Amino acid sequence: MPWPIYLALKQLFPSGRRLPFFTIISILGVGLGVALMLVSTSVMGGFGHQIKRMIIDTQGEVQIRGRQPMETSAAVESAIAGVPAVAASAPYAQGVVMVEYEHRPAFPVIQGFDLARIRKVVPLERYLTAGSFDDLDDDSVILSSLLASSLGVSVGDKVSLYTPLMLERMKRNEVLLPREARVAGIFRIGHQQLDSSTVLCSLRLMQDLYGLRQLVHGYNVRLQPDADPDAAAAALNRALPPVASALTWFEANADFQAVLSFERNMIFFLLTFIIVVAAFSITSSLLVTVVRKTREIGLLGAMGGGARSVAACFCCQGLFIGVGGTVAGLGLGFLLLHYRNAAVHFIASFTMGQEVFVKFYQFSDLPAHTAPRDVVIIVVFSLIAATLAGLIPAWRAAKLKPVEALRSE
């Protein structure tokens, strides 16, 4: 082992002695920075991943949207079926209704699906917490959990549905009769927005409520397991008539995804400063070491150690602190990620309570998704920062003349 590396290791981790305070603090500084970057990027990645999963589970990977309400014609159906990447598709229509139960109103989004086909596209049964999807017919609805809770509704109760079409009739002084619908089930996806204001029903009921006759607003499309959504959407757009266009789940929510990506990058950028501050701390401590060990540096010169080797010794110390801090930070970060929900619930129990947490932060559990690319970026960044931190002390040490260093007091 070259002596600069050997000596750097010995100075940071001396055998037979306690770990120097400088080593502990420096490694801790880098480690905390790495851990925070890992946790924050993983949690932000988790939000993105969960949102992606929820979007796909409720819309499919690709959504075909009509420029106007469109017919479920054979031309459209065959165009969709002709794309090999498509596994299944189901027409949908959606709008807004007023739901009332015992004088308690709510204004959720209502989505109507072709009950015979929707199960092959979106796995709604997975999210049912009460009732059964099999009980859903043209006279019943499935409510999201928070909506059902706010209305005080259980499975089997009947709710009243009011639509904009009814308001049009009311303007014409027609009698306003709401549509009664039995609650066939309650679902919970885990996203506050969807769980608080969504009603699912049959396509026929939705077409009745909105006076759509046989028209639909589009199709939800499920792709084959390894199909590329971008390529599939492009193929669908080539095959579809001009009245409709296909969007991937990402394009359909592009603004939201852009905001999420921006937030994630900003948090990553801001947290890099923790490592930068830790690097400055390493620089400061190593500069003190250079002053404290001036005569030792002179000795190294007297023993035949060149200026470059002396500099390499201090650069190596920065690098080893970076390696130690990165390993410790990754360990701490993954540990925090493993116990993140326990930690968040513990903190929430002291500050706002679990329900408030769910209400405002939209997720009942803190999601996390660690992308290997993010880990690589964090590791490389922290190693470079810590190594660069050793450069100024290394330069100062290399500049010392052995004869003057040996004479220093």
Q: Which residues contact 6 (CB under 8 A, 6 or more apart)?
A: none
Residue 30 CB, nearest distance to other proteins (Å)? 21
Rounded to whole angstroms, the Cα distance separating 250 from 53 reads 11
Q: Which residues contact 329 (CB under 8 A, 6 or more apart)?
A: 30, 31, 32, 33, 34, 35, 37, 38, 382
Check residue 408 and report its DSSP letter: -
Element (H, E) at 248: strand 244-248
Residue 318 CB, nearest distance to other proteins (Å)? 17
Residue 13 CB, nearest distance to other proteins (Å)? 9
Residue reference for tokens 């909105």: 210
Element (H, E) at 63: strand 62-71
Taking a C-beta distance cutoff of 8 angstroms, is the pair 109, 197 a contact? yes
Evaluate the CA torsion angle 110, 114, 119, 122 in order and state its sign: negative
Q: Which stretch binds other proteins (CB under 8 A): 128-136, 150-158, 297-305, 384-392?
A: 297-305
From the list 213, 225, 269, 304, which residue makes contact with other proteins (rule: CB under 8 A)? 304
Each residue 206-235 as x (binds other proteins by CB under 8 A) or -, in order, gives ------------------------------
State the Rg of the chain over Cα: 31
Using CB under 8 A as the binding rule, whether residue 26 contacts other proteins is answered as no
- Least Cα distance to 202 among 111, 130, 121, 122 occurs for 111
Rounded to whole angstroms, the Cα distance separating 245 from 319 reads 53
Question: For the chain, how many residues are written?
Answer: 409
Cβ proximity to other proteins, 19 vs 342, nearer residue = 19
Rounded to whole angstroms, the Cα distance separating 173 from 97 reads 20
Q: With contacts defined by CB under 8 A, how many residues of the chain interact with other proteins?
A: 26
Binding to other proteins in span 133-172, by CB under 8 A: none
Cβ proximity to other proteins, 179 vs 295, nearer residue = 295
Q: Which stretch binds other proteins (CB under 8 A): 9-17, 216-224, 232-240, 319-327?
A: 9-17
Number of H helices and E strands in the chain, helices first, is 18, 12
Taking a C-beta distance cutoff of 8 angstroms, is the pair 310, 395 a contact? no
Q: Which stretch binds other proteins (CB under 8 A): 12-20, 91-99, 154-162, 175-183?
A: 12-20
Using CB under 8 A as the binding rule, whether residue 60 contacts other proteins is answered as no
Cβ proximity to other proteins, 73 vs 408, nearer residue = 408
Using CB under 8 A as the binding rule, whether residue 19 contacts other proteins is answered as no
Cβ proximity to other proteins, 189 vs 313, nearer residue = 313
From the list 287, 299, 348, 377, which residue makes contact with other proteins (rule: CB under 8 A)? 299
Using CB under 8 A as the binding rule, whether residue 409 contacts other proteins is answered as no
Binding to other proteins in span 373-402, by CB under 8 A: 401-402
- Tokens representing 185? 């089930």
Cβ proximity to other proteins, 342 vs 403, nearer residue = 403
Rounded to whole angstroms, the Cα distance separating 372 from 94 reads 38
Using CB under 8 A as the binding rule, whether residue 52 contacts other proteins is answered as no
Residue 11 CB, nearest distance to other proteins (Å)? 5
Residue 408 CB, nearest distance to other proteins (Å)? 11
Using CB under 8 A as the binding rule, whether residue 408 contacts other proteins is answered as no
Binding to other proteins in span 256-295, by CB under 8 A: 295
Cβ proximity to other proteins, 9 vs 348, nearer residue = 9
Using CB under 8 A as the binding rule, whether residue 300 contacts other proteins is answered as yes
From the list 100, 228, 251, 296, which residue makes contact with other proteins (rule: CB under 8 A)? 296
Cβ proximity to other proteins, 4 vs 329, nearer residue = 4
Binding to other proteins in span 307-346, by CB under 8 A: 307, 309
Q: Which residues contact 19 (CB under 8 A, 6 or more apart)?
A: 13
- Least Cα distance to 220 among 31, 109, 88 occurs for 88
Residue 282 CB, nearest distance to other proteins (Å)? 18
- Least Cα distance to 264 among 380, 368, 376 occurs for 368
Evaluate the CA torsion angle 151, 196, 133, 207 in order and state its sign: positive
In single-letter form, the type of residue at position 168 comes to E
Positions that interact with other proteins (CB under 8 A): 3, 6-7, 10-11, 14-17, 295-296, 298-307, 309, 401-403, 406
